[in-house]
Amino acid sequence: MNESTEKLESRKLPAKLPMKEYAARRQRLLRQMAPNSIAILPSASLKIRNRDAEYPFRQDSDFYYLTGFPEPEAVLALIPGREHGEAVLFCKERNPEFELWNGRLAGQEGAVEVYGMDDAFPIADIDEILPGLIEGRSKVYYAMGRDEKFDRQVMDWINAIRAKVRSGAQPPGEFAALEHLLHDMRLYKSPAELKVMGEAAEITAQAHIRAMKACRPGMLEYQLEAEINYHFLMNGARASAYNAIVGGGDNACILHYTENDQVLRDGDLVLIDAGCELDHYAADITRTIPVNGKFSPEQRTLYELVLSAQEAAIAATKPGNHWNQPHEAAVRVLCEGLLKLGIIQAPSLEEAIAQELYRPFYMHRTGHWLGMDVHDVGDYKIGGEWRVLEPGMVMTVEPGLYIAANCESVEPRWWGIGIRIEDDVVVTKDGCQVLTASAPKTVADIERIMAER
C-alpha cells in the first residue's frame, strides 16, 4: 500500500449535517411565516441526458435545506399551527419492483422516522390531499415562476378549492415568494454548516495541491481536471460544485472556458477554477500556476499584483463593512499596479478608478455569496444600499487580471497572461477566516510545491 492509499483508507466519512439541523430550520421558518399560511416546496426532478440515461440527480437546494431528503418526486408542505403536524412530506411510496431496478426509497415511514417529518403521504395522492391542506389558509408561500410545471400544479390545486366555494370552501387570497424568508436564512451559515463547508474547502484545497504536483508541460488541460476530480471522489465529494475551468495560456482569458482540451505549454500559466460539493455545499477555489513550475518575470509581476489585490479585499472583509468594500479595495490595488506598469494611463489613481480603466483587464466582480449553490442566494443590496457584512456570511474573494493575446493597447510581453486567485472566506466576529487557506498561493509556496514533483 503506498502512502496516499493508506491515508485515504484511514479517512473518516465526509462531513454531513445532522438531521436535527433540518428540523431546527423548519421550526425557524415556520415561526417567521404568517399565521394561517402554508409553504409549498417541490424537490428537483430527474433530468434525461439522452434516451434512457439520466443526469446525476442533484436535489433542489431550498428543498434540501429544509428536509435533507435526497429523492426526486417529493413536495414539502409547511403549515404553521397544524394540529396533526406542521411538516408534511409527499414522497414516493416504497415498491419492491421499483426499488429492485432504481434503488431504495424512504417511503412515508422513512420520511417520518429518518427525516423527522410530522406526517407523510404518497406523492401519487397529492392532488387529493394537498388542496385540503391549503383550503382555509389565507396565504400561500412558494417560489413562483421557477418551474412552469409546478406553477401549473399549484394553480390546479387552488382552482380545485375555488371550484368548491359555493360549498363553503375558502381559497387563499394571498401568494408570497418564499425566497425572502428562506434565502435570508440560507445566507447566515451555522457552525454545523461551516464544518461541512470547511471540509469541502479542505478537500478542494488538497485537490489543487495534487494538480500543482502533477502539472507538466505537454499535459492536456483535462488531465489536470482528472487529478482534481480524482481527489474529490476519493474523499467522498461525489460531485463538483460547477464545471471546472482549466485554461492554459490565453485560454485563461476566457472567463468561462470549460473545453479544457488543449496542450499545456512550457512557459505558460494555467488557471484552474474547481471546487467540490459536499453534502450539497460548494467550495470554489481558483489557483493560477506556471506550467513548468517557475513564474516568468512578467507572470510574477502580474501574479503578485493580483495577490496584493486579493489580500486587500480579504482585509476589507469584516463585519460592519459593506458588500462592495472588498471589491473596491481590490480595484484600487489593481489600478495602482496597472498604472505603475504602464498598462493603463491616467492622470491620477482616482481618475483611473472613476473611469473604470481597469475593466478591459478585470471585467468581473471580486466575489459572490457561497453556500449550497456556488453563486449562493441572499440579497447583495438592501433598500438600494450595499448590504453590511455580518458574521456567518460566506463569500468568495476572487480578483483577477486577464490580458489576452493580441491586446493591442498593451506591450506584447504581457500578452496571454490570465490570472485569478480565489478563496472562500467566512465573516467572523472581528474579521474573516479563509476556509481555503491550505491551497498555496504565494509565488514562493507554489514554486516550492511544484519543485517537489
Closest distance of CB 273 from ligand GLY, Å: 5
Q: Which of residues 228-257 bind ligand GLY (CB under 6 A)?
A: 242
250 is catalytic: no
Report the b/e string of 153-184 with b at 16+ CB within 10 A: bbeebbebbeeeeeeebebbeeebebbebbbe
Q: Name the residue among 345, 450, 338, 349 with its Cα closest to residue 399.
A: 338
Q: Give ∠ CA 76-79-82 in degrees, rounded to 5.
A: 130
**Between 110 and 400, whose beta carbon lies closer to ligand GLY?**
400
Contact status: 273 vs Mn ion (CB under 5 A): yes
**Between 60 and 398, whose beta carbon lies closer to ligand GLY?**
398
Question: Helices 297-315 & 443-451, crossing angle to 10 degrees?
Answer: 120
Choose among Mn ion, ligand GLY, none what residue 62 binds, the Cβ cut-off being 5 to 8 Å by kind: none
Q: Which of residues 333-372 bind ligand GLY (CB under 6 A)?
A: 368
Q: Which of residues 391-410 bind Mn ion (CB under 5 A)?
A: 396
* Catalytic hit among 273, 277, 376, 423: 273
422 is catalytic: yes
374, 285 contact by CB (below 8 A): no
Rounded to a whole number of angstroms, the distance between the first and last alpha carbons of the chain is 20
* Catalytic hit among 284, 373, 376, 423: 284
52 is catalytic: yes
368 is catalytic: yes
Choose among ligand GLY, Mn ion, none what residue 202 binds, the Cβ cut-off being 5 to 8 Å by kind: none
d(CA 334, CA 298): 15
- In a 3-state reduction of DSSP, which class is residue 140? strand
21 is catalytic: no
Q: Residue with C-alpha cell 433542489?
A: 60
Contact status: 424 vs ligand GLY (CB under 6 A): no
Phi-psi region of 128 (alpha: psi -120 to 50; beta: other; left: phi over 0): alpha
Closest distance of CB 27 from Mn ion, Å: 32
Contact status: 225 vs Mn ion (CB under 5 A): no
Q: Which residues are catalytic?
A: 52, 256, 273, 284, 364, 368, 375, 398, 402, 420, 422
Question: Which residues contribute to the site for ligand GLY (CB under 6 A)?
Answer: 242, 273, 284, 368, 374, 398, 422
Question: Which residues contribute to the site for Mn ion (CB under 5 A)?
Answer: 273, 284, 286, 396, 422
